[in-house]
Amino acid sequence: MSVIFTKSVTGRRGVKLPNSDVPTTGTVPREFERKTPLELCELSELDVVRHFTELSTRNVGIDSTFYPLGSCTMKYNPKATEAVAGMHGFAHLHPFLPQLRHGGSLVQGALRVLYELEHHLAEITGMHAITLQPLAGAHGELTGMMLIAAYHRDKGNKKTEVLIPDEAHGTNPSSAAIGGYSVRPVPTNPETGMLDLKALEDMIGEQTAAVMLTNPNTLGIFNSQIQKITEIAHRYDAQVYYDGANLNAILGRFRPGDAGFDVVHINLHKTFATPHGGGGPGAGPVGVREHLTDYLPISRVIKRDDNSYALNYDFPKSIGYIAPFYGNFLICLRAYAYILLLGAEGLKDVSSHAVLNANYLKQKLSTHFDVAVQHTCMHEFVLTAQRQAKAGASALNIAKAIIDAGFHPPTVYFPLIVKEALMIEPTETESKQTLDAFADALIDIAERAAVDPAFLHNAPTTTPVSRPDEVKAARNMDIAFQG
């Protein structure tokens, strides 16, 4: 497919505007004006429509193929919730509209959505209060660390570090570091796949501000020692942070607040079936236990005695603003509709089917790949392709080959503690037929790799772009188009 610049024809236009019949006034100072004309494409409307329509058919997404990314919960987004987010009364609201006015308000419905979604998420997670403002999971992590820092500051605690398991998501140490703390990794017990409790007890102390955990963890294992971990942390007034990226696995079955977690972030774009990927949109609400509520970001939605809703800014200990206006409202709206659509029992079914699908797929694949940790998994599992790599077919080669079978590859080389990792999460939205087809494709690749690993080295061969030299591309980037 040609890039759009090569389709340009001198003098061709998609639209022609009449000469202006009103005086023009320059608003840009002359020193900021371009000295040379823009090198824009010259195309008709039809040229543009056909180009981008063809380009769209080459995109890969959850609507077009199975997307088994481990640790990412790339599940189908119901179109019913998309329709709700597109409703005129929500989609066309302006954030500067007045909250209350004589004769009614245009935003009372939106404020009610935010208020009720906060309460639904608080019930689901077992937390006391929620802020919907963070715009992504990593943004939620940073918000959580800011809340923890504010808490320790307020108490006069001299805390300097955060303890994080070595199999944690990469954003965990980044968020802790940006929050002003040094980071120390806690090792994982290779036999159990859980955080090493003895190592945690040896490392924790008065200097520890927080312990960050993901449960189930990135190996897909539910940590049976969670309550013991929170008890150890609280001895030193360290806060326990729950990375909610894997909340889909325990939805309706386990509430982090009940196990003693102090802060939790929730990826609405993972657990609650809202759009995910491409840099956004997303939303990462944060929940806290009661002792942290004073530090939550402003503004906060309150319900008045007359059952109307308003934004309250009167929280002196708040960490302040962490996002423009009130968060990513239409993403929150989708999640609100999703929760109402499924109800309590439906949300339990989500986690049940997610766990069932993962264990079914793991069992089918364990005959041809080694499992990183022999343990009943939750919503995801990690295979290791070390056996195939020794024969000349690495995890990367296997991931490239699965593209030719019509599937998006699983996550590779993560978590870092597993060599040649293939991390797979099928989610609850995929059928048995899809899981069987994916398993058969991976099994076929494993069998062929055992006798002829070289066949993988040029994969994929069916895509518009085949096998780039990734090392060369990273070291010698050429991002300027030359016509």
Q: What does residue 228 show for φ and ψ, rounded to 5 degrees?
A: -65, -40
As a whole-number percent, the residues of the chain with pLDDT over 90 amount to 79
Looking at per-residue confidence, does 62 or 360 come out higher? 360
| Superfamily classification of domain 349-473 | Aspartate Aminotransferase, domain 1 (3.90.1150.10)
- For residue 464, name the pLDDT band (cuts at 50, 70, 90): confident
**What's the average model confidence in pLDDT over 200-223?**
96
Quick one: which H or E segment has residue 217?
none
Please list, residue by residue across 443-452, b when 16 or more beta carbons sit within 10 angstroms of its beta carbon and e when fewer do: eebbeebeee
Q: Residue 227 is which amino acid?
A: Q
More confident residue, 466 or 206: 206
What's phi and psi for 242, nearest 5 deg?
Answer: -105, 115
pLDDT at residue 265 in the model: 97
Tell the CATH topology of 81-341: Aspartate Aminotransferase; domain 2 (3.40.640)
Domain boundaries of the chain, sorted by first residue: 81-341, 349-473
Q: Is residue 293 within 8 Å of 343, Cβ to Cβ?
A: no
**Lowest mean pLDDT segment, chosen from 115-119, 159-163, 464-468:** 464-468
Question: Quick one: pLDDT at residue 258?
Answer: 96
Q: Does pLDDT of 481 surpass 80?
A: no
pLDDT band for position 277 (cuts 50, 70, 90): low
Reported confidence tier of residue 430, pLDDT bands at 50, 70, 90: very high
Residue 163 near residue 197, CB atoms below 8 Å: no
Contact 441, 402 (CB under 8 A): yes
**Integer Cα distance of 95 and 325 in angstroms:** 7
In this predicted structure, which of 24-28, 106-110, 123-127 has the lowest mean pLDDT?
A: 24-28
Q: Can you tell me whether residue 229 is helix, strand or coil? A: helix
Q: Identify the bridge partners of residue 462 per DSSP, sorted by sequence position.
A: none
Q: Is the pLDDT of residue 391 over 60?
A: yes
Using only C-alpha atoms, what is the Rg of the chain? 26
Mean per-residue pLDDT of the chain: 93
Q: What are phi and psi of 267, to 5 degrees?
A: -85, 100
Of residues 230, 214, 299, 194, the one with CA closest to residue 265:
214
Q: Which two tokens stand for residue 422?
A: 């293939």
